[in-house]
Amino acid sequence: QKLTAKANSSYVVLDKQTPYQDATTYNNFYEFGTDKSSPARNAGAMKTRPWTVSIEGEVKKPMTLDIDALLKLAPLEERIYRLRCVEGWSMVIPWIGYSLSELIKKVEPTSNAKYVQFVTVEDKQTMNGLRYPVLDWPYTEGLRIDEANHPLTLLTLGMYGEVLPNQNGAPVRIIVPWKYGFKSAKSIVKIRFVKEQPATAWNLAAPKEYGFYSNVNPQVDHPRWSQASERRIGEDGFFTKKRPTLMFNGYSQVASLYSGMDLRKYF
Amino acid sequence: MPTNGTHAVMTFNPTPRQLSVIKVLIFLLALIPFVRLAYGAFTDGLGANPLEFITWNTGEWTLYFLTMTLAVTPLRRLTKWNWLVRLRRMLGLFAFFYVLLHFTAFFWFDHFFDVQEMLKDVAKRPFILVGFTAFVLLIPLAVTSTNGMVKRLGAKRWQWLHRLIYLIVPLGLLHFWWMRAGKHNFTEPLIFLVIVGVLLLVRAVWAMQKRAKEARQVRSPA
Protein backbone atom coordinates (compact mmCIF):
# COMPACT_ATOMS: atom_id res chain seq x y z
CA GLN A 1 0.00 0.00 0.00
CA LYS A 2 1.49 3.27 -1.20
CA LEU A 3 2.27 6.09 1.17
CA THR A 4 3.34 9.39 -0.30
CA ALA A 5 5.76 11.68 1.45
CA LYS A 6 8.02 14.55 0.56
CA ALA A 7 11.71 13.79 0.71
CA ASN A 8 13.41 15.80 3.43
CA SER A 9 16.74 16.79 1.96
CA SER A 10 18.29 17.43 5.38
CA TYR A 11 18.13 13.73 6.12
CA VAL A 12 19.81 11.85 3.33
CA VAL A 13 22.94 9.75 3.32
CA LEU A 14 25.29 9.08 0.44
CA ASP A 15 25.37 5.35 1.18
CA LYS A 16 23.59 2.97 -1.13
CA GLN A 17 20.08 2.02 -0.08
CA THR A 18 19.55 -1.51 1.18
CA PRO A 19 17.44 -3.59 -1.24
CA TYR A 20 13.79 -3.75 -0.14
CA GLN A 21 13.96 -7.53 -0.25
CA ASP A 22 16.77 -7.61 2.34
CA ALA A 23 15.19 -5.00 4.59
CA THR A 24 11.94 -6.95 4.72
CA THR A 25 13.28 -10.51 5.13
CA TYR A 26 16.12 -10.02 7.62
CA ASN A 27 14.46 -8.78 10.77
CA ASN A 28 14.61 -9.03 14.53
CA PHE A 29 11.03 -9.14 15.81
CA TYR A 30 11.11 -11.83 18.46
CA GLU A 31 7.35 -11.84 18.95
CA PHE A 32 7.27 -13.65 15.61
CA GLY A 33 10.23 -15.96 16.27
CA THR A 34 13.92 -15.56 16.91
CA ASP A 35 15.22 -16.41 13.43
CA LYS A 36 15.90 -13.48 11.14
CA SER A 37 13.56 -14.96 8.56
CA SER A 38 10.72 -15.73 10.99
CA PRO A 39 9.10 -12.26 11.09
CA ALA A 40 8.69 -12.11 7.30
CA ARG A 41 7.07 -15.55 7.42
CA ASN A 42 4.83 -15.08 10.45
CA ALA A 43 4.01 -11.39 10.84
CA GLY A 44 1.38 -11.38 8.09
CA ALA A 45 -1.24 -12.57 10.58
CA MET A 46 -0.98 -9.43 12.72
CA LYS A 47 -3.93 -7.06 12.28
CA THR A 48 -2.75 -3.48 11.97
CA ARG A 49 -6.18 -1.91 11.55
CA PRO A 50 -7.99 -0.82 13.61
CA TRP A 51 -5.02 0.31 15.72
CA THR A 52 -4.80 2.92 18.38
CA VAL A 53 -1.92 4.43 20.27
CA SER A 54 -2.67 5.80 23.70
CA ILE A 55 -0.49 8.61 24.95
CA GLU A 56 -0.57 8.94 28.71
CA GLY A 57 1.31 9.70 31.89
CA GLU A 58 2.88 13.04 32.66
CA VAL A 59 1.04 15.03 29.98
CA LYS A 60 -1.57 17.76 30.13
CA LYS A 61 -3.53 16.32 27.22
CA PRO A 62 -3.53 12.54 27.25
CA MET A 63 -5.08 11.16 24.09
CA THR A 64 -5.75 8.02 22.12
CA LEU A 65 -5.05 8.32 18.41
CA ASP A 66 -5.87 5.88 15.65
CA ILE A 67 -3.63 5.35 12.66
CA ASP A 68 -5.53 7.74 10.42
CA ALA A 69 -5.18 10.47 13.00
CA LEU A 70 -1.46 9.74 13.32
CA LEU A 71 -1.02 9.87 9.54
CA LYS A 72 -2.55 13.36 9.52
CA LEU A 73 -0.91 14.75 12.63
CA ALA A 74 2.02 16.29 10.73
CA PRO A 75 3.25 16.33 7.13
CA LEU A 76 4.89 13.03 6.20
CA GLU A 77 8.54 13.18 5.24
CA GLU A 78 10.85 10.66 3.66
CA ARG A 79 14.19 10.40 5.44
CA ILE A 80 17.03 8.09 4.58
CA TYR A 81 18.72 6.83 7.72
CA ARG A 82 21.46 4.35 8.49
CA LEU A 83 20.29 1.57 10.80
CA ARG A 84 22.95 -0.15 12.89
CA CYS A 85 22.00 -3.35 14.70
CA VAL A 86 23.75 -4.21 17.95
CA GLU A 87 24.63 -7.56 16.33
CA GLY A 88 27.10 -5.89 13.99
CA TRP A 89 25.20 -5.40 10.74
CA SER A 90 23.66 -2.32 9.20
CA MET A 91 21.23 -1.16 6.54
CA VAL A 92 20.26 2.11 4.84
CA ILE A 93 16.50 2.61 4.77
CA PRO A 94 14.17 5.32 3.44
CA TRP A 95 11.64 5.76 6.24
CA ILE A 96 8.41 7.76 6.13
CA GLY A 97 7.14 9.67 9.13
CA TYR A 98 7.72 12.87 11.07
CA SER A 99 9.68 13.94 14.11
CA LEU A 100 8.27 12.48 17.31
CA SER A 101 8.50 16.00 18.71
CA GLU A 102 5.43 16.92 16.60
CA LEU A 103 3.40 14.47 18.61
CA ILE A 104 5.03 15.43 21.90
CA LYS A 105 4.05 19.08 21.30
CA LYS A 106 0.40 18.09 20.95
CA VAL A 107 0.15 16.26 24.28
CA GLU A 108 2.00 18.92 26.28
CA PRO A 109 4.23 17.04 28.71
CA THR A 110 4.37 18.31 32.28
CA SER A 111 7.64 19.26 33.94
CA ASN A 112 7.64 15.78 35.50
CA ALA A 113 8.03 14.11 32.11
CA LYS A 114 11.70 13.17 32.16
CA TYR A 115 11.49 9.99 30.09
CA VAL A 116 9.29 8.47 27.41
CA GLN A 117 8.39 4.80 27.41
CA PHE A 118 7.17 2.91 24.34
CA VAL A 119 5.01 -0.14 24.92
CA THR A 120 4.54 -2.43 21.95
CA VAL A 121 1.76 -4.80 21.01
CA GLU A 122 1.39 -8.17 22.74
CA ASP A 123 -1.08 -10.25 20.73
CA LYS A 124 -1.03 -13.89 21.79
CA GLN A 125 -3.35 -14.81 18.91
CA THR A 126 -0.88 -13.91 16.18
CA MET A 127 2.49 -13.79 17.92
CA ASN A 128 3.89 -17.26 18.46
CA GLY A 129 7.11 -15.98 19.96
CA LEU A 130 5.24 -14.74 23.04
CA ARG A 131 5.02 -18.34 24.23
CA TYR A 132 8.75 -18.34 24.92
CA PRO A 133 10.13 -16.31 27.80
CA VAL A 134 12.93 -14.88 25.68
CA LEU A 135 12.05 -11.38 26.87
CA ASP A 136 9.72 -9.90 29.42
CA TRP A 137 6.69 -9.29 27.18
CA PRO A 138 5.41 -6.90 26.03
CA TYR A 139 8.55 -5.46 24.49
CA THR A 140 9.17 -2.01 25.91
CA GLU A 141 11.70 0.66 25.08
CA GLY A 142 12.44 4.14 26.31
CA LEU A 143 14.24 7.42 25.71
CA ARG A 144 15.16 10.41 27.75
CA ILE A 145 12.80 13.29 26.99
CA ASP A 146 15.49 15.32 25.21
CA GLU A 147 16.35 12.29 23.06
CA ALA A 148 12.69 11.83 22.23
CA ASN A 149 12.42 15.51 21.32
CA HIS A 150 15.48 15.47 19.07
CA PRO A 151 14.40 16.17 15.48
CA LEU A 152 16.17 12.99 14.28
CA THR A 153 13.83 10.80 16.33
CA LEU A 154 11.23 9.72 13.82
CA LEU A 155 7.70 8.53 14.44
CA THR A 156 7.62 6.13 11.54
CA LEU A 157 4.63 4.93 9.53
CA GLY A 158 6.20 3.77 6.28
CA MET A 159 9.31 2.82 4.35
CA TYR A 160 10.31 2.57 0.68
CA GLY A 161 7.24 4.62 -0.34
CA GLU A 162 4.79 2.23 1.32
CA VAL A 163 3.15 1.71 4.68
CA LEU A 164 5.35 -0.35 7.01
CA PRO A 165 5.34 -4.09 6.31
CA ASN A 166 4.24 -5.97 9.43
CA GLN A 167 7.68 -7.48 10.03
CA ASN A 168 9.17 -3.98 10.09
CA GLY A 169 6.88 -2.80 12.87
CA ALA A 170 3.55 -1.86 11.29
CA PRO A 171 1.58 0.24 11.63
CA VAL A 172 3.68 2.64 13.69
CA ARG A 173 7.14 2.49 15.22
CA ILE A 174 9.92 4.69 16.37
CA ILE A 175 13.28 5.16 14.64
CA VAL A 176 16.23 6.47 16.63
CA PRO A 177 19.04 6.31 14.08
CA TRP A 178 21.98 7.03 16.42
CA LYS A 179 21.13 4.11 18.69
CA TYR A 180 21.32 0.36 18.14
CA GLY A 181 18.28 -0.93 16.30
CA PHE A 182 16.57 -2.58 19.27
CA LYS A 183 15.96 0.88 20.76
CA SER A 184 13.63 1.60 17.84
CA ALA A 185 10.51 -0.16 19.15
CA LYS A 186 8.06 -1.66 16.67
CA SER A 187 4.26 -1.81 16.53
CA ILE A 188 3.70 0.68 19.33
CA VAL A 189 0.40 0.77 21.25
CA LYS A 190 1.26 3.04 24.14
CA ILE A 191 3.53 6.01 24.69
CA ARG A 192 3.95 6.92 28.35
CA PHE A 193 5.62 10.01 29.74
CA VAL A 194 7.23 9.17 33.06
CA LYS A 195 9.35 10.65 35.81
CA GLU A 196 11.87 7.83 36.29
CA GLN A 197 13.99 5.99 33.76
CA PRO A 198 11.67 3.24 32.49
CA ALA A 199 12.53 -0.43 32.29
CA THR A 200 13.40 -1.57 28.77
CA ALA A 201 13.09 -5.11 27.43
CA TRP A 202 16.70 -5.88 26.53
CA ASN A 203 18.11 -4.11 29.52
CA LEU A 204 15.91 -6.27 31.77
CA ALA A 205 17.00 -9.42 29.95
CA ALA A 206 20.75 -8.78 29.96
CA PRO A 207 21.71 -5.57 31.79
CA LYS A 208 25.45 -6.14 31.30
CA GLU A 209 25.07 -6.41 27.53
CA TYR A 210 22.39 -3.87 26.68
CA GLY A 211 22.32 -0.52 28.42
CA PHE A 212 19.48 1.99 28.57
CA TYR A 213 21.28 4.40 26.26
CA SER A 214 22.73 1.96 23.72
CA ASN A 215 24.14 4.69 21.51
CA VAL A 216 26.07 3.36 18.55
CA ASN A 217 29.65 3.59 19.74
CA PRO A 218 32.63 1.89 18.07
CA GLN A 219 34.72 2.34 21.21
CA VAL A 220 32.45 0.42 23.55
CA ASP A 221 32.35 -3.26 22.71
CA HIS A 222 29.54 -5.64 23.38
CA PRO A 223 30.86 -8.25 25.85
CA ARG A 224 30.80 -10.92 23.17
CA TRP A 225 31.86 -9.03 20.08
CA SER A 226 33.50 -5.85 18.89
CA GLN A 227 31.37 -2.90 17.84
CA ALA A 228 34.23 -1.26 15.95
CA SER A 229 33.03 -2.43 12.56
CA GLU A 230 29.89 -3.57 10.83
CA ARG A 231 28.68 -5.51 7.82
CA ARG A 232 26.38 -3.60 5.49
CA ILE A 233 23.61 -5.95 4.42
CA GLY A 234 23.36 -6.44 0.67
CA GLU A 235 26.70 -4.77 0.08
CA ASP A 236 29.58 -6.13 2.15
CA GLY A 237 30.14 -9.60 0.77
CA PHE A 238 32.82 -12.25 0.52
CA PHE A 239 35.51 -9.96 -0.83
CA THR A 240 35.12 -6.85 1.28
CA LYS A 241 36.24 -6.13 4.77
CA LYS A 242 33.69 -5.02 7.32
CA ARG A 243 33.33 -1.23 7.35
CA PRO A 244 34.19 0.90 10.38
CA THR A 245 31.27 1.85 12.61
CA LEU A 246 30.80 5.58 13.13
CA MET A 247 30.29 7.29 16.48
CA PHE A 248 26.55 7.81 16.99
CA ASN A 249 26.15 5.94 13.70
CA GLY A 250 27.41 9.08 11.97
CA TYR A 251 24.80 11.38 13.56
CA SER A 252 27.27 13.59 15.39
CA GLN A 253 24.61 16.29 15.89
CA VAL A 254 23.34 14.31 18.91
CA ALA A 255 26.69 14.47 20.72
CA SER A 256 25.61 17.51 22.73
CA LEU A 257 22.84 15.43 24.36
CA TYR A 258 25.55 13.48 26.15
CA SER A 259 28.13 16.12 26.96
CA GLY A 260 29.78 15.39 30.29
CA MET A 261 28.48 11.82 30.36
CA ASP A 262 30.82 8.84 30.53
CA LEU A 263 29.52 6.80 27.63
CA ARG A 264 31.37 3.72 28.86
CA LYS A 265 29.37 3.83 32.06
CA TYR A 266 26.14 4.85 30.36
CA PHE A 267 26.47 2.45 27.44
CA MET B 1 32.10 -59.05 22.02
CA PRO B 2 30.80 -62.26 20.43
CA THR B 3 27.07 -62.40 19.89
CA ASN B 4 25.17 -65.47 20.91
CA GLY B 5 22.18 -67.05 19.23
CA THR B 6 19.52 -65.35 21.34
CA HIS B 7 20.38 -62.03 19.77
CA ALA B 8 20.21 -63.31 16.24
CA VAL B 9 17.15 -61.19 15.41
CA MET B 10 18.92 -58.00 16.38
CA THR B 11 22.17 -58.90 14.75
CA PHE B 12 22.99 -57.28 11.48
CA ASN B 13 26.47 -57.83 10.28
CA PRO B 14 27.23 -56.26 6.95
CA THR B 15 29.63 -57.98 4.57
CA PRO B 16 32.72 -55.91 3.69
CA ARG B 17 30.95 -54.96 0.47
CA GLN B 18 27.82 -53.83 2.27
CA LEU B 19 29.91 -51.86 4.73
CA SER B 20 31.62 -50.04 1.86
CA VAL B 21 28.24 -49.11 0.43
CA ILE B 22 27.10 -47.82 3.83
CA LYS B 23 30.27 -45.77 4.15
CA VAL B 24 29.90 -44.22 0.72
CA LEU B 25 26.28 -43.37 1.47
CA ILE B 26 27.14 -41.69 4.76
CA PHE B 27 30.00 -39.83 3.10
CA LEU B 28 27.65 -38.42 0.47
CA LEU B 29 24.97 -37.55 3.03
CA ALA B 30 27.53 -35.79 5.20
CA LEU B 31 28.54 -33.59 2.27
CA ILE B 32 25.00 -32.32 1.66
CA PRO B 33 25.26 -29.36 4.10
CA PHE B 34 28.49 -28.27 2.41
CA VAL B 35 27.08 -28.59 -1.09
CA ARG B 36 24.00 -26.66 -0.01
CA LEU B 37 26.15 -23.82 1.34
CA ALA B 38 28.37 -23.72 -1.74
CA TYR B 39 25.36 -23.74 -4.06
CA GLY B 40 23.59 -21.09 -2.00
CA ALA B 41 26.67 -18.88 -1.95
CA PHE B 42 26.86 -18.88 -5.75
CA THR B 43 23.14 -18.45 -6.36
CA ASP B 44 22.48 -15.81 -3.68
CA GLY B 45 20.34 -18.29 -1.84
CA LEU B 46 21.55 -17.81 1.73
CA GLY B 47 19.37 -14.88 2.71
CA ALA B 48 20.25 -11.25 3.37
CA ASN B 49 23.36 -12.04 5.41
CA PRO B 50 25.02 -15.01 3.70
CA LEU B 51 28.26 -14.65 5.67
CA GLU B 52 26.47 -14.98 8.98
CA PHE B 53 24.46 -17.90 7.62
CA ILE B 54 27.63 -19.76 6.61
CA THR B 55 29.28 -19.08 9.96
CA TRP B 56 26.30 -20.31 11.97
CA ASN B 57 25.43 -23.24 9.77
CA THR B 58 28.93 -24.72 9.74
CA GLY B 59 29.04 -24.32 13.53
CA GLU B 60 25.77 -26.18 13.91
CA TRP B 61 26.91 -29.02 11.67
CA THR B 62 30.11 -29.35 13.69
CA LEU B 63 27.98 -29.97 16.77
CA TYR B 64 25.77 -32.45 14.92
CA PHE B 65 28.75 -34.52 13.81
CA LEU B 66 30.43 -34.36 17.21
CA THR B 67 27.21 -35.64 18.77
CA MET B 68 26.93 -38.45 16.21
CA THR B 69 30.54 -39.43 16.92
CA LEU B 70 29.77 -39.61 20.63
CA ALA B 71 26.67 -41.71 19.93
CA VAL B 72 28.57 -44.53 18.20
CA THR B 73 29.78 -46.38 21.29
CA PRO B 74 26.49 -46.36 23.24
CA LEU B 75 24.57 -47.35 20.11
CA ARG B 76 27.00 -50.14 19.48
CA ARG B 77 26.54 -51.50 23.00
CA LEU B 78 22.79 -51.31 22.84
CA THR B 79 22.40 -52.88 19.41
CA LYS B 80 25.47 -55.11 19.52
CA TRP B 81 26.24 -53.80 16.05
CA ASN B 82 29.96 -53.80 16.46
CA TRP B 83 30.55 -52.65 12.90
CA LEU B 84 29.21 -49.21 13.83
CA VAL B 85 32.64 -48.40 15.19
CA ARG B 86 33.94 -48.60 11.62
CA LEU B 87 31.93 -45.43 10.86
CA ARG B 88 33.22 -43.43 13.77
CA ARG B 89 36.39 -42.09 12.16
CA MET B 90 34.48 -40.70 9.20
CA LEU B 91 31.93 -38.98 11.46
CA GLY B 92 34.74 -37.48 13.54
CA LEU B 93 36.55 -36.27 10.45
CA PHE B 94 33.39 -34.62 9.18
CA ALA B 95 33.08 -32.83 12.50
CA PHE B 96 36.61 -31.57 11.86
CA PHE B 97 35.76 -30.65 8.28
CA TYR B 98 32.83 -28.49 9.39
CA VAL B 99 34.72 -26.87 12.26
CA LEU B 100 37.50 -26.02 9.83
CA LEU B 101 34.92 -24.31 7.60
CA HIS B 102 33.45 -22.62 10.68
CA PHE B 103 36.82 -21.27 11.74
CA THR B 104 37.67 -20.20 8.20
CA ALA B 105 34.37 -18.31 7.99
CA PHE B 106 35.22 -16.49 11.23
CA PHE B 107 38.79 -15.77 10.11
CA TRP B 108 37.69 -14.64 6.66
CA PHE B 109 34.40 -12.83 7.15
CA ASP B 110 35.00 -11.33 10.58
CA HIS B 111 38.72 -10.57 10.31
CA PHE B 112 39.48 -10.73 6.63
CA PHE B 113 42.51 -13.00 7.23
CA ASP B 114 44.19 -10.62 9.66
CA VAL B 115 45.91 -13.06 12.03
CA GLN B 116 46.69 -10.47 14.69
CA GLU B 117 43.17 -9.08 14.74
CA MET B 118 41.77 -12.58 14.91
CA LEU B 119 43.99 -13.64 17.81
CA LYS B 120 43.16 -10.44 19.67
CA ASP B 121 39.49 -11.17 19.28
CA VAL B 122 39.98 -14.75 20.51
CA ALA B 123 41.91 -13.61 23.58
CA LYS B 124 39.46 -10.86 24.42
CA ARG B 125 36.23 -12.80 24.27
CA PRO B 126 35.68 -15.88 26.42
CA PHE B 127 32.88 -17.06 24.15
CA ILE B 128 35.21 -17.16 21.15
CA LEU B 129 38.16 -18.46 23.21
CA VAL B 130 36.13 -21.48 24.28
CA GLY B 131 35.17 -22.32 20.71
CA PHE B 132 38.69 -21.71 19.47
CA THR B 133 40.13 -24.01 22.15
CA ALA B 134 37.75 -26.78 21.16
CA PHE B 135 38.82 -26.31 17.52
CA VAL B 136 42.54 -26.44 18.35
CA LEU B 137 42.08 -29.53 20.52
CA LEU B 138 40.32 -31.29 17.68
CA ILE B 139 43.34 -30.88 15.38
CA PRO B 140 45.52 -33.60 16.99
CA LEU B 141 42.58 -35.99 16.90
CA ALA B 142 42.08 -35.42 13.19
CA VAL B 143 45.81 -35.75 12.54
CA THR B 144 46.06 -39.05 14.41
CA SER B 145 42.96 -40.56 12.90
CA THR B 146 44.76 -42.84 10.41
CA ASN B 147 45.51 -46.52 11.04
CA GLY B 148 49.21 -45.75 10.72
CA MET B 149 49.01 -43.20 13.49
CA VAL B 150 47.15 -45.60 15.78
CA LYS B 151 50.02 -48.05 15.28
CA ARG B 152 52.70 -45.46 15.76
CA LEU B 153 51.16 -44.17 18.98
CA GLY B 154 50.12 -47.53 20.31
CA ALA B 155 46.48 -48.29 21.04
CA LYS B 156 46.67 -47.24 24.71
CA ARG B 157 48.21 -43.84 24.09
CA TRP B 158 46.00 -43.25 21.08
CA GLN B 159 42.91 -43.97 23.15
CA TRP B 160 44.14 -41.63 25.85
CA LEU B 161 44.63 -38.82 23.36
CA HIS B 162 41.23 -39.35 21.81
CA ARG B 163 39.55 -39.07 25.17
CA LEU B 164 40.06 -35.33 24.57
CA ILE B 165 36.69 -35.57 22.85
CA TYR B 166 35.08 -35.58 26.31
CA LEU B 167 36.51 -32.10 26.78
CA ILE B 168 36.02 -30.87 23.22
CA VAL B 169 32.28 -31.52 23.01
CA PRO B 170 31.39 -29.74 26.27
CA LEU B 171 33.56 -26.79 25.20
CA GLY B 172 31.77 -26.65 21.86
CA LEU B 173 28.44 -26.76 23.61
CA LEU B 174 29.47 -24.00 26.00
CA HIS B 175 30.48 -21.88 23.00
CA PHE B 176 27.05 -22.41 21.44
CA TRP B 177 25.26 -21.78 24.75
CA TRP B 178 27.16 -18.56 25.30
CA MET B 179 26.42 -17.36 21.81
CA ARG B 180 22.70 -17.77 22.47
CA ALA B 181 22.81 -16.50 26.06
CA GLY B 182 22.62 -12.82 25.20
CA LYS B 183 19.40 -13.45 23.36
CA HIS B 184 17.96 -15.88 25.90
CA ASN B 185 17.47 -18.33 23.10
CA PHE B 186 18.23 -21.66 24.73
CA THR B 187 15.94 -24.14 22.99
CA GLU B 188 18.57 -25.67 20.73
CA PRO B 189 21.48 -25.56 23.20
CA LEU B 190 19.19 -27.33 25.69
CA ILE B 191 18.38 -30.11 23.24
CA PHE B 192 22.10 -30.59 22.62
CA LEU B 193 22.80 -30.53 26.34
CA VAL B 194 20.29 -33.29 27.03
CA ILE B 195 21.52 -35.55 24.21
CA VAL B 196 25.21 -35.05 24.96
CA GLY B 197 24.47 -35.37 28.68
CA VAL B 198 22.83 -38.76 28.15
CA LEU B 199 25.66 -39.95 25.90
CA LEU B 200 28.27 -39.03 28.51
CA LEU B 201 26.22 -40.28 31.45
CA VAL B 202 25.74 -43.80 30.06
CA ARG B 203 29.51 -44.01 29.72
CA ALA B 204 29.95 -43.01 33.35
CA VAL B 205 27.36 -45.57 34.45
CA TRP B 206 28.98 -48.31 32.40
CA ALA B 207 32.41 -47.45 33.74
CA MET B 208 31.09 -47.66 37.31
CA GLN B 209 29.39 -50.98 36.66
CA LYS B 210 32.61 -52.32 35.23
CA ARG B 211 34.56 -51.22 38.24
CA ALA B 212 32.01 -52.75 40.62
CA LYS B 213 32.18 -56.03 38.71
CA GLU B 214 35.96 -56.08 38.86
CA ALA B 215 35.85 -55.37 42.60
CA ARG B 216 33.48 -58.32 43.13
CA GLN B 217 35.80 -60.60 41.20
CA VAL B 218 38.74 -59.54 43.36
CA ARG B 219 36.79 -60.28 46.55
CA SER B 220 35.77 -63.76 45.46
CA PRO B 221 38.60 -65.30 43.50
CA ALA B 222 37.69 -68.43 41.60
Can you give the pLDDT at residue B10? 59
Output the pTM of the full model. 0.87
Q: What pLDDT was estimated at residue B181? A: 81
**Does the pLDDT of residue A209 top 60, yes or no?**
yes
Contact flag B49-A89 (C-beta cutoff 8 Å):
yes
Structure confidence at residue B1 as a pLDDT band (50, 70, 90): very low
* B9-215, CATH topology level: Four Helix Bundle (Hemerythrin (Met), subunit A) (1.20.120)
Q: How far A135 CA sits from the closest chain B CA (Å)? A: 7
A36–B48: do the CB atoms touch at under 8 Å? yes
Enclosing domain of residue A43: 6-255
Report B:19-58 residues touching A (Cβ under 8 A).
Answer: 41, 47-52
Between the alpha carbon of residue B63 and those of residues A7, A62, A123, B5, B204, the distances in Å are: 49, 54, 35, 38, 21
pLDDT tens digit sequence for A184-207: 999 999 999 999 999 999 999 989
Which long-range contacts link A137-141 to residues 24+ away (Cβ below 8 Å)?
A: A137/A31, A139/A30, A139/A31, A139/A185, A139/A186, A139/A201, A140/A185, A140/A198, A140/A199, A140/A200, A140/A201, A141/A117, A141/A174, A141/A182, A141/A183, A141/A184, A141/A185, A141/A200, A141/A201
pLDDT in tens, B202-220: 999 999 999 999 888 876 6
Query: How far from chain centre, in Å, is Cα A146?
Result: 16
- The answer to the question of residue A149 being in a domain is yes
- pLDDT score for A23: 97
Q: Is the pLDDT of residue A133 over 90?
A: no
From the list A26, A225, A241, which residue is nearest B47 (CB)? Answer: A26
Model pLDDT, residue B205: 94
Cα separation values, B141 from A96, A110, B148, Å: 57, 68, 13
Nearest-angstrom CA–CA distance, A224 and A209: 9
Q: Do B184 and A205 touch (CB under 8 A)?
A: yes
- Domain ranges across chain B: 9-215
Tell me if A233 and B49 make a contact (CB, 8 A cut-off): yes
Of B48, B112, B125, the CB nearest to A241: B112
Q: Partners of A173 in the beta sheet?
A: A156
The C-alpha angle A34, B112, A87, rounded to 5 degrees, equals 25
Split into its structural domains, chain A has a count of 1
**Mean of pLDDT over chain B:** 91
d(CA B3, CA B82): 10
pLDDT digits (tens, 9 = 90+) for A75-97: 999 999 999 999 999 999 999 99
Chain A residues interacting with chain B (CB cutoff of 8 angstroms): 21-22, 25-26, 34, 36-37, 89, 132-135, 205-206, 209, 221-226, 231, 233-234, 237-238, 241-242
A122 pLDDT above the threshold of 70: yes
Q: Which of A195, A178, A140, A194 is nearest to A263 (CA)?
A: A178
| Strand ranges of the sheet holding A52-57, from the earlier edge strand across to the other edge | A63-66, A52-57, A188-194, A115-120, A140-144
State the nearest Cα–Cα gap between A214 and chain B, in angstroms. 15
Nearest residue of chain B to residue A135 (CA atoms): B184
Chain B CB contacts of A206 below 8 Å: 181-182, 184
CATH number where A105 lies: 3.90.420.10
Q: Is the pLDDT of residue B2 over 80?
A: no
| ipTM of model | 0.83
A234: nearest CA in chain B? B48
Q: How far apart are CA A101 and CA A65, in angstroms?
A: 16
The whole-number average pLDDT for the span A113-140 is: 95
Q: Using 50, 70 and 90 to split pLDDT, how confident is the model at B162?
A: very high
